[in-house]
Structure 1
């Protein structure tokens, strides 16, 4: 199933390897990194999205989880 990461960027849910969340100590932003395998299993891609606060990051993660769970 395709998961909408953002407008115009979709991933097959089977290709998502990991989702990592961290908080920047310098500016307090939350960083969500999605690791995925493109068509070639030998390679790995990453997608990074930055959020200004915890609520925005949590909302994005909840939406992402809903797409993956379908």
Structure 2
């Protein structure tokens, strides 16, 4: 199974922004843990938005611009 970015620019942008958001959220969590800062109780829910962006760009049923087969 080969993983590749979508070809349409909107789908590709959604995937890239979502991946950036996931990396940013995890980096912020590690930073807070390292410095002993307590996180809010539902901090894992903040990953929902970037993961939804990734899903909207990568899953064909959720794509805004349908990819050519």
Question: TM-score, normalization: structure 2?
Answer: 0.31
Larger radius of gyration: 2
Q: Compare the two structures and name the one with the higher strand fraction.
A: 1
